[in-house]
Structure 1
Amino acid sequence: MNMVTERYARYLAEHYNEARRYDSRTTIFSPEGRLYQIEYAMEAISHAGTVLGVLAKDGVVLAAEKKVTGKLLDLSGVKEGGYGGSGEKIFLLNSNVVTGVAGITADANSLVNYARQAAQKHLFAYNEDIPVELLAQRLCDLKQGYTQYGGLRPFGVSLLYAGYDVHYDFQLYHSDPSGNYSGWKATSIGANNGTAQSLLKQEYKDDMGVEEAIGLVLRVMSKTMDSTTLGSEKLEFATLTLDPTTKQPKARIYKPAEVDALLVEQGLAKKDEDSEMRAV
């Protein structure tokens, strides 16, 4: 081993040992003022299935890429009852808030349960649905606490909140493991979020309606998903609109058959490989 190689090896060892001093706890700042465990959590999220949200003038649209798929997976409950969805990526938090998650699903389940309890406590105390930003703040307070106390790791999940309240109409928020949150007109989390953000910047319009937003979300998902085909086995979809009769928020998480019908309507349905083979 020559002198240059030895010097480089020594530098790497020193740098590695230095980093280990600051990433062993969530509460220790590095000399640059960074919390490495938070950055590691956000890196885990960047490998999760893509989640897109688009805010329209009369609603909000969410779409998410499912990662857990398989022919032997029992989806009978998904097809027959409830709000639809597989319970993997999109959840109903309250009658006025739907969320899409990217990251560790087990962590997401814990936060979803916490958010549902917070929403019900607000409803019980004030006899009104919880404002969307307040619900995001409640979850972010919890997530920030996990960056401040020793012996705890951050939640490895980011969330998009699609909601409606009488104060600020339709809203779309994003929160990350650090406890930061922000409002968006259109945004993406998870894998390929940079590409998705670029496409959304090019095509988003402030005055678009829900139908246009649905088309935009599906087009962007078709270009950014890791899968070569777009179908209900890989995609979850939800909208939040106002009921024309009651003027109350109406959340709709699409069932697999409804997702496939929507893809056909938008001209993005996957091709039938068997029929292609027969044609050949």
Structure 2
Amino acid sequence: MARRYDQRTTTFSPEGRLHQVEYAIEAISHAGSVIGIQAKDGVVLAGEKKETTKLVDPGKRGEKVYKIDDHVIVAVAGLTSDANALVNRARINAQHYFSRYGENEPVEQLVVSLCDYKQQYTQFGGLRPFGVSFMFAGWDRHFGFQLYQSDPAGNYTGWKATAIGNNYSSAVPMLKQDWKEDMALDEAVHLAAKVLLKTTESSSLTSDKCEFAVLTVKDGKVSHRMLTNDEILAESKKLEQEQQQTTTTTTTS
């Protein structure tokens, strides 16, 4: 039955579904995991890098985290080509706003403008939905630190902590259990590493396997940076020690 209604983006099935949009969302579920966590003093984004072959140069592989503007960064899950097109559009929108008003565009307004554009590709014939989901981290003077997630249909939601991509269904319960209202940024980084290590089912984390970005405010100015390989390895080692302590405690009891 579905094959009769999945040839056109604008054709609803008898159940009220748009199959092309659902196919785009399904493509994202096979992409590398992305974790987003909002803390009281910043936001952390962590993304898994999918290694297709060892012949690929890690230094020239596509990015997982992009800078939109000085106050907004984004992590992507899905088709890199679609992500590049939308990231460039978001950057242009942010610069247009700055040139017109002389200040950074509010984070939610930037998210809304991009989601409206994504939604147009589910509304008109001859187009296909973008096969990518975004995780936005930003700060503005209106609402402070913010974390948003958007999908191919153009929906967006504000979150305190969430996950997209492969094994997101395993990541969300862990975030729900361990996230705290007064969580500091370093605690958020540690939690993101813990969840990412679980979802990737890897023995350790390195900069070749994942990316970590933190956004915070220092001296009244928004700043963001990527964690170095040494910092990622330190978090991985800390998780390994915690696992050993848990195992020892369990064995003793």
Structure 1 length as normaliser, TM-score?
A: 0.82
**Equivalent in 93, 98, 101 of residue 73 of structure 2:** 98
Shift of 1:70: 4.7
Q: Counterparts of 1:260 and 1:119 in 2: how far apart (Å)?
A: 34
Q: Which amino acid aligns with 1:90?
A: V
Which residue does 1:62 correspond to in 2?
A: 45
Which residue does 1:34 correspond to in 2?
A: 17
Q: Counterparts of 2:139 and 2:102 in 1: how far apart (Å)?
A: 16
Which residue does 1:242 correspond to in 2?
A: 217
**Equivalent in 174, 187, 209 of residue 184 of structure 2:** 209
Give the secondary structure class of the aligned counterpart of 1:28. Answer: coil
Q: Counterparts of 1:227 and 1:49 in 2: how far apart (Å)?
A: 13
Q: Which amino acid aligns with 1:45?
A: I
Q: Counterparts of 1:131 and 1:62 in 2: how far apart (Å)?
A: 19
Q: Counterparts of 1:264 and 1:229 in 2: how far apart (Å)?
A: 8
Give the secondary structure class of the aligned counterpart of 2:110. Answer: helix
Cα pair distance change 1:27/1:183, threshold 3 Å: same
| Cα root mean square deviation, aligned | 1.8
Q: Which amino acid aligns with 1:169?
A: G
User: After superposition, what is the alpha-carbon deviation per residue over 1:179-211, rounded to whole angstroms, capped at 9, x for unaligned?
Assistant: 000000000000110110000000010111101
Shift of 1:229: 3.1
**Equivalent in 174, 188, 192 of residue 199 of structure 1:** 174
Shift of 1:262: 4.4
Q: Is the 8 A contact 2:204 2:236 kept in 1?
A: no
Which residue does 2:102 correspond to in 1?
A: 127
Shift of 1:32: 1.1
Q: Is the 8 A contact 1:91 1:100 kept in 2?
A: yes
Q: Is the 8 A contact 1:69 1:233 kept in 2?
A: no
Q: Counterparts of 1:188 and 1:143 in 2: how far apart (Å)?
A: 20
Cα pair distance change 1:250/1:266, threshold 3 Å: farther
Q: Is the 8 A contact 1:51 1:189 kept in 2?
A: yes
**2:197 counterpart of 1:222:** yes
What percent identity do the matched residue pairs reach?
A: 54
Q: Where in structure 2 are the equivalents of 1:121-200 lying within 5 Å?
A: 121-200=96-175
Shift of 1:263: 3.4
Shift of 1:232: 1.5
Q: Counterparts of 2:176 and 2:141 in 1: how far apart (Å)?
A: 28
**2:35 counterpart of 1:52:** yes
Q: Is the 8 A contact 2:190 2:235 kept in 1?
A: no
Cα pair distance change 1:141/1:260, threshold 3 Å: same
What is the aligned residue count?
Answer: 242
**2:85 counterpart of 1:110:** yes
**2:188 counterpart of 1:252:** no
**Equivalent in 1, 5, 8 of residue 25 of structure 1:** 8
User: After superposition, what is the alpha-carbon deviation per residue over 1:135-169, rounded to whole angstroms, capped at 9, x for unaligned?
Assistant: 11011011000000101110000000000000000
Structure 2 length as normaliser, TM-score?
A: 0.90
Give the secondary structure class of the aligned counterpart of 2:215. Answer: strand
